A and B are shown apart, each in its own frame.
Chain A
Amino acid sequence: MEARTSTDTELNQPQTVPERNAMPLLPVELRNTSGGEKAAFQIDRAMQAARTRIARRRTLRVAASTLPVPIAAAALWVALSRFTLLELPRWPVFLFVLLWLVMLLIVSRTHKVTTSQSARYLDRTLSLDERLTTLLELARQTPVRRLSRPVSRVPMGLLEDTAFELKARSVSLPSAWHYRFKRWQSVAIGAALLLLFSAMVIPTGLDAVRAERQALRRTVDTELVKIADLRAELVTKPGLSDNDRAAMQQELDQLTEALSAPELERSSLLAALSDAQQKLQSLSSMSSADFNSILTAARTMQSAALDASRTGVSGPEDTSDWNPADYPDLSDLGKAAKASDVIGAKAKSFTSAQIRSTIPYLERASTQAAPEDTELAQDLLDASKSVSIKDAEKTALTLKDASQRFLDADQRYQLAQSVERIMASLDEGRQTVAEAGTKAVKKGQVGFRRPGGLPGDPAPTGQGANPANDAQASGTATQDDQGISLGGPSALGATGANSPDYAGLKNSSGGSSSGGQTGSQGGSQGGTQGATGSTQQGGTNGSAGTNQPGTGSSGTGDGSQGTFSGQVSGPMGGGSGAISQVPNPAGQGVSDGSSPVASDPAQNDSVFVPSAQSDNSGATNGGVPGQAAPEQQKPGGIEGRTSDGGDGSTQVLQNTGSGTHNDIRTPYKEVIGQYAQEATQALERVYVPADAKEYVKDYFSQLGK
């Protein structure tokens, strides 16, 4: 006890400022005792430290005990979201942790640490031999009414002794954040973490399904935006009749409703898109390409009016030059109608020079319009004659009729354009939907990829690919994709045939295929399509089976995952139909009927060249089906453009008609460039999905090597 004297002196040094009211853990009467002020301060400070440690330790204990709960909940949530097809968001995982933290906060705030607990903690931790608890208990027993009297029940010695021991041993107070996990807590936390980790990393096939669904949802959302844009575009598009506009808007609205369904099913989406396409298709059976002749005539009429306006000596009525640029909102057809009106109005004051310049224009326009609108051609021709005999009245009358026909054609043209644009967009959307989320199967599903012949694919090398007529050619191919292979260059035919949608739309006679659906399965029926196409007519492309391809060489290609075997039809025949967008969707794979290299053993260096284009008689022409008569030919296809190279080295042997070999043969190298050029031009003329464009280009680039 003597040794404590010096320390007690230190304790009484004024360097510690007692906080009288900061934390009155000790009763006031105890502080009021003589000499008890600083001792009480020491005790208060230690008690505050103990209170903090107890609270934190309690919080840590609760945290360690309950931590497995949010982890397990998160693991369960992750497992549910990964191992089921429930559309569960990820944020609840963090919500569990957040709730746990809130619970900890509440626990730490609501569970107050009592003075007795603090005192016992200090007694136990610092080995104070129950000094502090005894002191506090004695202090509490002191009645309040004795405040004015000396505290009789609290020994001063006990107070000072406690303060001294507290100060001396306070360095032994453990860290506020020190906590030793119990065994069961460690096991529980470890198990929960293991559960969470397992739920996160165990592979599941549902991930791909879910990703596909998400991709599908994104795609559908994108398509909905596009449809909304199309609808807005329809509202502002001039030249459309109200009925057509309303009909198209209605179709788009129905499609929007179908695509907005909460449950996304790829097949139903594709069906909705196809259905919408079919209905839209019924609104207009024409494509913008059908108006090429009239458009040409319309431009001629504009030139006529412009020329007449500029070159003639203006009469009294002629107050200003006519310029098509003054009608920026009108199409060429609308401007042609204006031009017809202008010429008709100016006809009575035409000068000789104007008459001389106008007549050829009108005649040329008549000729140009004749393939598609004979009445318009006739009106223009009549107008030409009227101008020549200076019959202004008749000229005005006939040109007025022509103007009206231009306007009618313009309306049809606008409708066709709108339908075409919507169809193109829907077609692209359909392809996107079909591809969404299924990289492995997307090409096969959309049916745009020809079996084999992919860029960079070494596939169709085809050993023994000496595809003589009716001969079987087998080839071995190594491909990245699903083992699609082709033994021969029946690219377009197969491609077209692989588009089942076209068949559904236009109900073409041949080439319908399920290849798109099976392409992902390691095999393609593209070859079959080629074979089918080779035995089918050219669908609606006229020619009425003129190019019955007869037999093609059979090729067999072994892909990495599949083997394709199919007959190879002519290189260009029905393939053009495949890329044709709307009117000839069947992709019927119509072929000219010749085998690619026929009997030439010189390794594919001789190909069939369609016969003369000038022969429009599809019934007898053994050429490309697209070369049918204009009235029979459906617009939009590439067909008919692919075989115009019949000159030069082309040798016309025999044109036997359907089902026979075409006898025109030419070296392969000489025509491939021409084919490619024609194909490129055809791609630019009509809408072709970008994927198909690339495909066609790649195809020809491969052939050109």
Chain B
Amino acid sequence: MAITNPSVTTASDVSRETAVADLTADQFRDKALRIENELGKVIVGQRTLMHQVLVCLIAGGNALLEGVPGLGKTVLVRTLADAIDCQFSRIQFTPDLMPADIIGTNILIEDETGGKRFQFQEGPVFANLLLADEINRATPKTQSALLEAMQEGTVSVARTVYKLPKPFFVLATQNPLEMEGTYPLPEAQLDRFLFKLNVSFPSTAELIAISDRTTSGDDPKAGKVVSASDIQAMQHLARQTPIATHVTAYAVRLLQASHADNPLASTMVKKYVRYGGSPRALQAMILAGKIVALLDGRYNVAFRDIRAAALPALRHRIILNFDAEAEGVEPDAILASIIDETPEEETR
């Protein structure tokens, strides 16, 4: 089937502007499948998690993985780094970690002539794939060091802006149980994450498979199946995926429904939500929806793609009020009500 990407077949202006390689939709899907397969070699189960991580990667966003220790968060990120031929860094966030430890610093060096000058020493953030392990253990000051990197893809040190390599992808993890000595991520920081992904506990079969795979013989290793440029090309193709206006409007209504003061808000939202999602949430849903559609073999975004992206995109962006926390209401339940009660077609 000769299905080609419009940017490829028509040599559009967009494709001319970028230097990335042209990629067909089939190639896109093929590469994505290969990445998932490599991840599957190491990670047992967690298909949804891997899929959503892949969506984040292709969208050029950042993901916050939350789960109890031992569920394979770090392994997932490391395996992803193994599957992609790109530069990988890992930062273990601790309370005493300083921003300079992440973004780097200017150091004084002496050249051949004896002169001394400052030279920027890049930190671990200068990588394509950054693992920010247990990010909530660092102080807010250190956490904030990642803000510019995550949003702008740059690092500013002493009036000098340094571009981070492309693609740049931050995968942060945090443990929801050990709250002592941690610093919850501020809303601004959370908003920089495209998705917040909950890592669920494996099922019985998965646990058996994990034990078998990790306690006998050699540890499985993921091979490099795509390059950084491939990721860039996939990111470019994903952004070319068309979306109908009324589908976008649906995503907007979902976002509006997360605000308690909006007429579209459900009863649950009005009761438990203090503040709803930001426009970044809308961007996240649309972009992720495009990738979901492409991964599903379609060339357009459907309502269900938006719904698939809504939960991880809004989960960390709605701020619950005291009632919700007192009653133990989870954001996922509120978002489920939003999705259920928001009609696809606009009602007048």
Residue of B nearest to A138 (CB): B242
Residues of A near B4 (CB, < 8 A) are: 155-157
CB-based nearest A residue for B12: A152
Does B246 reach chain A (CB closer than 8 Å)? yes
| A120 and B345 contact, CB distance less than 8 A | yes
| CA gap between A161 and B241 in the complex, in Å | 14
Give every chain A residue within 8 A of B302 (Cβ-Cβ): 129-131
Kindly state the separation between the CA atoms of A153 and B244 in the bound complex, as whole angstroms.
Answer: 13
8 CB contacts below 8 A, A to B, read A1-B1, A134-B247, A152-B10, A153-B242, A158-B299, A160-B3, A161-B3, A161-B298
Residues of A within 8 A of B9 (CB): 156
9 shortest interchain CB distances as A-B pairs: A157-B3, A129-B302, A134-B300, A158-B299, A134-B244, A155-B6, A152-B10, A133-B244, A130-B302
Which residues of chain A are within 8 angstroms of B243 by Cβ–Cβ distance? 134
* New A-B pairs, 16, CB < 8 Å, besides A1-B297, A156-B9: A129-B302, A129-B305, A131-B298, A134-B247, A137-B244, A152-B10, A154-B6, A155-B4, A155-B242, A156-B3, A157-B25, A157-B299, A158-B242, A158-B299, A160-B3, A161-B3
Q: Is B304 within 8 A of A129, CB to CB? A: yes
Task: Say whether, besides A130-B300, A135-B300, A155 and B244 are in contact (CB < 8 Å).
Answer: no
Contacting pair B242 A134 (CB below 8 A): yes
**Which of A120, A131, A150, A157 gathers most chain B CB within 10 Å?**
A157
How many residues on A have C-beta within 8 angstroms of the other chain's C-beta atoms? 26
- Of the listed stretches A2-10, A169-177, A238-246, A682-690, chain B binds A2-10
In angstroms, Cα B345 to Cα A271, docked, is 76
**A35's closest neighbor in chain B, by CB?**
B2
Q: Are A130 and B245 in contact (CB under 8 A)?
A: no
Rounded to whole Å, the gap between the CB of B294 and the closest CB of chain A is 11
- A503 and B245 CA atoms in complex are apart in Å by 96
Q: Which residue of A lies closest to B345 (CB)?
A: A120
Asked if B247 contacts A130 (CB within 8 A), the reply is: yes
Closest to B293 in A: A129
Contacting residues of chain A (5-49) with chain B, CB-CB under 8 angstroms: 5, 8
Q: How far is the CB of B61 from chain A (nearest CB, A)?
A: 23
The CA of A429 and the CA of B31, in the complex, are separated in Å by: 106
A131 vs B244: C-alpha distance in the bound complex, in angstroms?
9
Q: Give A420-461 as 1s and 0s: 1 = Cβ < 8 Å from B's Cβ atoms.
A: 000000000000000000000000000000000000000000
Give, as a whole number of angstroms, the nearest-CB distance from A169 to chain B. 14
CB distance from B21 to the nearest CB of A (A): 18
B300 to A158, Cβ gap below 8 A?
A: yes
In angstroms, Cα B25 to Cα A347, docked, is 141
In the complex, what distance in Å separates the CA atom of A634 from the CA atom of B254?
108
Are B298 and A120 in contact (CB-based, < 8 A)?
A: no
B244/A152 in contact, CB under 8 A: no
Shortest A131–chain B CB gap in Å is: 6
Contacts of A160 in B (CB 8 A): 1, 3
Contact residues, B2-44 vs A (CB, 8 A): 2-6, 9-10, 12, 25-26
With both chains docked as a complex, state the minimum distance between the C-beta of B346 and any C-beta of chain A, in angstroms.
11
- The yes or no answer to B303 lying at the interface (CB within 8 A) is yes
Number of interface residues of B (CB under 8 A): 29
Q: Which of A108-145 contact B (CB under 8 A)?
A: 120, 124, 129-131, 133-135, 137-138
Which A residues are in CB contact (< 8 Å) with B245? 137
Q: Is the CB of B246 within 8 A of A153?
A: no
Pairwise interchain contact A1-B247, C-beta atoms closer than 8 A? no
Q: Cα distance A155–B12 when bound, in Å? A: 11
Asked if B171 is at the interface (CB within 8 A of a chain A CB), the reply is no
A165 to chain B, nearest CB (A): 9
How far is A133 from B303 in the complex, measured between Cα atoms in Å? Answer: 12
Shortest distance from the beta carbon of B39 to any chain A beta carbon, whole Å: 22
Beta-carbon contact of B5 and A5 below 8 Å:
no
Please report the C-alpha to C-alpha distance between residue A52 and residue B345 in the assembled complex, in whole angstroms.
Answer: 21
A193, B106: Cα distance in complex, Å = 89
Q: Is the C-beta of B238 less than 8 angstroms from some C-beta in chain A?
A: no
> Does B244 lie within 8 Å of A1, measured CB to CB?
no
Most chain A CB within a 10 A radius of its CB, from B3, B4, B244: B244
With both chains docked as a complex, state the minimum distance between the C-beta of B238 and any C-beta of chain A, in angstroms.
Answer: 13
Give bound CA distance, A605 to B328, whole Å: 116
- B301 contacts chain A at the CB level, 8 A cutoff: yes
For residue A157, which residues in chain B have a CB less than 8 angstroms away from its CB? 3-5, 25, 299
Q: Evaluate contact between A120 and B246: CB separation under 8 angstroms.
A: yes
A138 to B240, CA, bound (A): 12
Residues of chain A with a CB closer than 8 A to B304's CB: 129
Residues of B within 8 A of A151 (CB): 10
A157 to B5, CA, bound (A): 7
Bound-state Cα–Cα, A365 to B168, Å: 149
Residues in B neighbouring A153, C-beta threshold 8 A = 6, 242
- Enumerate chain B residues within 8 angstroms of A129, measured Cβ to Cβ: 293, 298, 300, 302-305
A163 to chain B: closest CB distance in Å? 12
Instruction: Give the CA-CA distance A5 to B264 in the complex, in Å.
Output: 44
The answer on a CB contact under 8 Å between B297 and A130 is no
The 8 Å CB contact of B10, one of A5, A150, A161, is A150
- In whole angstroms, what is the CA distance A129 to B245 when docked? 14
Cross-chain contact A155 with B5 (CB below 8 angstroms): yes
B249 → A minimal CB distance (Å): 11
Give the CA-CA distance A240 to B179 in the complex, in Å: 132
Task: Point out the residues of chain B lying under 8 angstroms from A4, CB to CB.
Answer: 1
B219 to chain A, nearest CB (A): 35
Please report the C-alpha to C-alpha distance between residue A130 and residue B298 in the assembled complex, in whole angstroms.
Answer: 10
CA distance A130 to B303 in the complex (A): 7
Query: How near does chain A come to B245, taking the closest CB pair, in angstroms?
Result: 6
Q: What residues on A are CB-neighbors of B6 within 8 Å? A: 152-156
Complexed CA–CA distance, A130 and B3 (Å): 18
Residues in B whose Cβ lies below 8 Å from that of A1: 1, 3, 26, 297
| Residues of B with C-beta under 8 A to A156 | 2-4, 6, 9
Considering the chains assembled together, what is the distance between the CA atoms of A134 and B249 in angstroms? 13
* Docked CA distance A30–B4 (Å): 16
CA distance A2 to B26 in the complex (A): 10
Q: Which residue of B lies closest to A129 (CB)?
A: B302
What residues of A have a CB within 8 angstroms of the CB of B301 in the complex? 130, 134
Complex Cα spacing A2 to B2, Å: 10
Q: Name, among B242, B293, B300, the residue most crowded by chain A CB atoms within 10 Å (CB to CB).
A: B300
* CA gap between A131 and B2 in the complex, in Å: 18
Nearest neighbor of B344 in chain A, beta-carbon distance: A124
Distance of A1 Cα from B295 Cα, bound (Å)? 12
Q: Write out the residue numbers on chain B whose beta carbons fall within 8 Å of the beta carbon of A131.
A: 298-300, 302
Query: Known interface pairs A2-B1, A120-B345, A153-B6. Does A133 touch B246 (Cβ–Cβ under 8 Å)?
Result: yes
Contact of A161 among B244, B299, B303, B305 (CB under 8 A): B299
- Measured CB to CB, the nearest residue on chain B to A135 is B300
A584 vs B200: C-alpha distance in the bound complex, in angstroms? 119
Chain B residue with Cβ nearest A133:
B244
* Residues in chain B near residue A137, CB distance under 8 A: 242, 244-245
Query: Given the complex, which residues of A lie within 8 Å of B3, measured CB to CB?
Result: 1, 155-157, 160-161
Per the bound structure, the CA–CA distance linking A124 and B302 in Å amounts to 11
* Nearest CB in chain B to that of A119: its residue: B244
A160 (CB) vs chain B CBs: closest residue: B3
Q: Which of B176-224 contact A (CB under 8 A)?
A: none
User: In B243-264, which residues have CB < 8 Å from any A CB?
Assistant: 243-247
CA distance A138 to B10 in the complex (A): 15
Write the chain B residue with the least CB distance to A8.
Answer: B1
Cα distance, A160 to B300, chains bound together (Å): 13
Chain A residues near B300 (CB-CB < 8 A) = 129-131, 134-135, 158
Q: Which residues of B contact A161 (CB under 8 A)?
A: 3, 298-299
CB distance from B253 to the nearest CB of A (A): 15
B74 to chain A, nearest CB (A): 35
Give chain B nearest CB distance to A128 CB in angstroms.
8
Interface residues of B in 233-286 (CB under 8 A from A): 242-247
Shortest CB-to-CB span from B301 to chain A, Å, is: 7
Separation of A398 and B38 alpha carbons in the complex (Å): 153
Measured CA separation A137–B300 after assembly (Å): 11
Which residue of chain B has its CB nearest to the CB of A2? B1
A8 / chain B contacts, CB cutoff of 8 Å: 1
User: CA A156 – CA B10 in complex, angstroms?
Assistant: 10
